[in-house]
Chains A and B, each alone.
Chain A
Amino acid sequence: MAGGTGGGETVMVAMENPHAHAPQGFIRKYIFSLDHKVIGIQYFFLALTAVFVGMFLSLLMRIHMIWPMAVLPLVGEIKPETYLSLLTMHGTIMVFFVLTTAPQGGFGNYFLPIQIGAPDMAFPVLNMLSFWTTFVGFIVILCAFFVTGGAPLHGWTGYPPLSALSSTGPGEQLGADLWITSIAIFCVASLMGALNFITTTLDLRAKGMTLMRMPLTVWSWFITAILGLLAFGVLLSAGILLLMDRNLGTSFYVPLVVVNGQIMGHKGGSPLLWQHLFWFFGHPEVYIAILPGMGVASQVLSTFSRKPIFGYRAMVYAMLSIGFFGFMVWGHHMFMSGMSPYSAFAFSLLTMCIGVPSAIKTFNWLGTMYKGRIRFHTPMLYAIGFVSLFVSGGLSGPFLAQPVLDIQLHDTYFVVGHFHLIMGVAAIFGIFAATYYWFPKMFGRMMNEPLGKLHFFITLAGTYAIFMPMHYLGMAGQTRRYSQFTEVAYQAKLLPLQTFMTYAAIITIAAQFIFVANLFWSMFKGTKASDNPWEATTLEWTTATPPPHDNFGGVTPVVNHGPYEYGVPGAPKDYVMQTDPATVAAQ
């Protein structure tokens, strides 16, 4: 082992590294790769494919809502049950294969090991298996479109008895079995991934990388992995019970029901049992989707404000408490399902408690930007957009946490607007921020800035135009999950607003092609990126662009600084990298 300095700036420890030898051959290098970076990119492109599928489904829904009789190319006329299938598949694909897959599986896989100074994940084979299991899950759910009866129509929450009986609708036959199987496969994949993330974070940190020197992105992936580890097992159990009800004649969830005049062979089961199990997973899932976005926003806001993150420890404890409370509030999804007022009070109170760490984070983000020398690059715009959407979507949360208000609003567009802003679009903005921020490191080239900014402004305006009116629609009593409103007098009056939202959706979706064009064009034709184009401090910016197979080219970094040391008094530059010599700030 030899100690040394690199260029007088970085401290590295050179040693023989077992990960230094890259695999040869296309299959081992790009398909069944054990390299966390390749696996991260695989996850990213899987999520990119999934998001376009999900977006296409939402486009069909929005078109159908305002032109219900339209015959669309490829899909023909959309019947009410088809609309419900589109809704189900849109929600499921977006929640599982986009919002869970891209930020954690994609960027987490790629950057967590590098940011802690590790050569790879703790269990590379398990990592590869995790991706390919996710891939199989995605294929299985897509198959639901093509089997007899088509895709299921029970919504992404899969409430029984609708989801537990094959006679309740056309999509509830084989399509529903495929849906549950896909979710179960996804659970197994996520559990493998969570195990790997936790072990890697706890055991593979470089010298000097104490817990309180970890970038907030690492903290967010780590906490997300803990949530996943505890939540996906519950969904897996719930899914197995549902499959048994559907195929083995058990009655866990199905009470005595009559479908189309026929008494079903079940009795005594409780749909509420599914709801409890599902939402015990479902609420932490919201944080599984959004926490990595919070980590990325913190990272990007600090970097482009040229200031340390405001209240680093508070940010860490806020994320931990969000994760903790996330497991105690599942009942707020079930106020409408009926529960003791005392339980509702407890769930309501605990839900509002989450507002405290959320507010801490928001004010800390604002504090980070305050009096900063802000560089308005595209990642920064998306990080600011993330904060904006987090606030806009989050503020309606305390309303819905009140049982009396939730009973009025729950089955209206108010809830649709709320969760799309806070969980959907905010998380997507986190993904965009991460993409524009880390693209140079991943692909060695810069993304086009003007195109990035154009993409940002259209997407920001578009998403607000789509989802803010939903709150007004909800307050006006417009029901969710209805395929068309033209035949209902009081709902038809709200149609102009729905029409406006559909046009906004078409424009916003069209703008995503700017992103895709920018992504692929920049991959091959973009300006070559330096090793640290953003003048950032964390470990990924100390290594080559793109990073070598073992991440640090046969050397292991030694960490001497916190992750966000910008504007340090006495430092030669306005930032101190984590591997800079410990005395650098005094020079």
Chain B
Amino acid sequence: MATYTPTTPIDRIGHGHKPPVPPAAGGDDGRGGGDVPNYGARLRRARLGLACGIATVCMVFISLTSAYIVRQGLPTFDGTSNTYVRDWGRVDLPWMLLAINTAVLLVSSVSMELARRKAALQAALAPVKSIPGVSLGEEKSFPWLGITVLLGIGFLAGQWLAWGELHARGFFVDTNPNSSFVFLLTIAHAIHLVGGVIALVWAASASLLHKPVEARRIVVDITAWYWHFMAVLWIYVFALLGLAR
């Protein structure tokens, strides 16, 4: 007989006094992975997927930040003075415009959160509303999602103006390493935000197309967390460009 090393506690394979009982639900801690995916399970799954996606975006920006810091400190040989000098350069950022953009994005994050809470409430009340004869009164409806989309597009338009302003001031992507990073980081953030706007439009259309309230809630919930992350990421980029010049 081969040496046996149990990979599970011995009572689980039937050597204990009590007959072992299969876990009631879920592999580890009550997750019902094999069940028909219900609303809660789908929401949890989507949030988990989003967390992984956010981890990826974080790695992208962490690596760009490390490149930013390293490149900032690099010397380059100057033939005229025969010494090593820093070539990081300066960029006159349009601070006021960027501050307004930041405010727009933060307000959009608030409106997104209100949209998320509204969707969560609708999803929670959906079973009650489906009971014949039960009414929850007249709902106050405000298009928070639409407002968020408009604010998001407003932020992107503001960024476009900021890039134009940089060009007008004589700063292009290849002017100096500093300007290269300004364009790189802001455009990288904007590209990710475009993804958020597309998700928002999708969420809004799900609402307009009268998709099931639970499906709508999942889309809105995921988009909201992504949107908040975009706001935090922008503040990070803004602070990096402002503080580590």
Contacts and interface: CB of A to CB of B under 8 A. Distances in A.
B195 interface: no
Nearest to A563: B7
Interface string B37-71: 10001001100110011011111101110110011
A244 B238 CA distance: 22
Interface residues of B, number: 60
B36 A585 contact: no
A267 interface: yes
A355 interface: no
Contacts of B2: 305-307, 371-373, 566-567
A386 interface: no
B174 A249 contact: yes
Contacts, number: 228
Q: Which of B7, B23, B87 has the most CB of A within 10 A?
A: B7
Contact of A308 (B6, B26, B58, B180): B6
Nearest to A586: B14
B13 A211 contact: no
A311 B188 CA distance: 46
B1 A122 contact: no
A100 interface: no
Contact of A122 (B49, B57, B173): B49
A492 interface: no
Q: Which of A240, A373, A587 has the most CB of B within 10 A?
A: A240
Contact of B55 (A209, A230, A237, A267): A230
A557 interface: yes
A497 to B, nearest CB: 41
Contact of B4 (A119, A267, A567): A567
A196 B56 CA distance: 13
B3 to A, nearest CB: 7
A229 B48 CA distance: 13
A214 to B, nearest CB: 8
A582 B7 contact: no
B19 A582 contact: yes
A307 B58 CA distance: 43
B35 interface: yes
A233 B59 contact: yes
A308 B35 CA distance: 30
A9 B184 CA distance: 60
Given A15-B35, A556-B35, A207 B77 contact: no
A195 B53 contact: yes
A320 interface: no
A71 to B, nearest CB: 44
Interface in A161-188: none
B175 to A, nearest CB: 9
Given A15-B35, A565-B13, A203 B45 contact: yes
B140 interface: no
A277 interface: yes
Nearest to A117: B34
A273 B67 contact: yes
Contacts of B154: none
B198 interface: no
Contacts of A211: 27-28
B150 to A, nearest CB: 28
B27 A568 contact: no
Contacts of A252: 67, 71, 177, 180
Contacts of A556: 34-35
Contacts of B34: 13, 117-119, 204-207, 556-557
A277 B71 contact: no
B35 to A, nearest CB: 7
Given A117-B34, A233-B60, A308-B5, A267 B13 contact: no
Interface residues of A, number: 91
Contacts of B64: 237
A129 interface: no
A118 B25 CA distance: 14
A236 B52 CA distance: 16
Q: Which of A191, A199, A212, A586 has the most CB of B within 10 A?
A: A199
A569 interface: yes
Given A18-B36, A207-B25, A582 B13 contact: yes
Nearest to B44: A203
Contacts of B180: 244, 248, 250-252
Contact of B22 (A231, A308, A371, A560): A560
A567 B13 CA distance: 13
A583 interface: yes
A561 B15 CA distance: 12
A310 interface: yes
A247 B88 CA distance: 20
A198 B55 CA distance: 12
Contacts of B58: 233
Interface in B153-179: 173-174, 177
22 contacts: A15-B35, A18-B37, A126-B49, A199-B48, A205-B28, A206-B34, A207-B26, A233-B56, A234-B62, A241-B67, A244-B173, A248-B174, A251-B87, A305-B2, A307-B3, A309-B7, A558-B22, A559-B22, A567-B2, A568-B13, A583-B14, A586-B13
Top 6 closest pairs, chain A to chain B, by CB: A205-B27, A562-B7, A268-B76, A233-B59, A249-B174, A556-B34
Interface of B: 1-8, 12-15, 19-28, 31-37, 41, 44-45, 48-49, 52-53, 55-60, 62-64, 66-67, 70-71, 74-77, 87, 173-174, 177, 180, 184, 188
Interface of A: 11, 13, 15-18, 116-119, 122-123, 126, 191, 194-196, 198-199, 202-213, 229-234, 236-238, 240-241, 244, 248-252, 255-256, 267-270, 273, 276-277, 280, 305-312, 371-373, 556-570, 576, 582-587
